[in-house]
Amino acid sequence: MVVPSVDDVSGVIAQWPTMLTAAEEYKWNIQTKSDADLALEEFVIFFPLMVTGAVFGYAALETAKSQLEVEIPEGTEGVVTAAFCLGGAGFFLILGNSGILGAASGILAKALLDGWNVIASAVLKGALLKY
């Protein structure tokens, strides 16, 4: 391709799409990635959420054992611990995929910003957040 002037090139480049739409990205992912690649990508995305849920599940088990004095039968401690960890991980995945965790984090962030504005207006004149 022969480019007659710089102005013509900038016009051509400006017409190129800079981002894929969601439908184009989905189509591109389906065409270029195998099922194993897509499954691995999903696992990597949700791995931190699963680990956090497993920790919360384990904490719930230990709290039940200490505070509620729940006794686990001899020889089944490992199975019960694994069940609580998997249950906590599954519970957090459900909360994350349903949007409950996102909504809760957004509400908490908004409440903290509003709380800062209350404190700043009372204590620090002129330190209000403008958002």
Q: What is the pLDDT of residues 73-129, one digit of tens each?
A: 888 999 999 999 999 999 999 999 999 999 999 999 999 999 988 888 888 877 766
- Predicted pLDDT of residue 121: 81
pLDDT, mean of residues 32-40: 83
Q: Is residue 5 part of a domain?
A: no
Print the domain residue range for 112. Answer: 101-131
pLDDT, mean of residues 1-23: 60
Number of domains in the chain: 2
Regarding whether 72 and 60 lie in a shared domain, the answer is: yes
Q: Is residue 59 part of a domain?
A: yes
Regarding whether 112 and 90 lie in a shared domain, the answer is: no
Quick check: 13 pLDDT over 80?
Answer: no
pLDDT, mean of residues 16-37: 73
Residue 57 pLDDT level (bands cut at 50, 70, 90):
very high
Regarding whether 120 and 79 lie in a shared domain, the answer is: no
Q: How far is CA 104 from CA 2, 8, 101, 108, 115, in A?
A: 56, 50, 5, 6, 16
Kindly report whether the global pTM for this prediction surpasses the value 0.75. Answer: no
Regarding whether 85 and 57 lie in a shared domain, the answer is: yes
- Predicted pLDDT of residue 20: 67
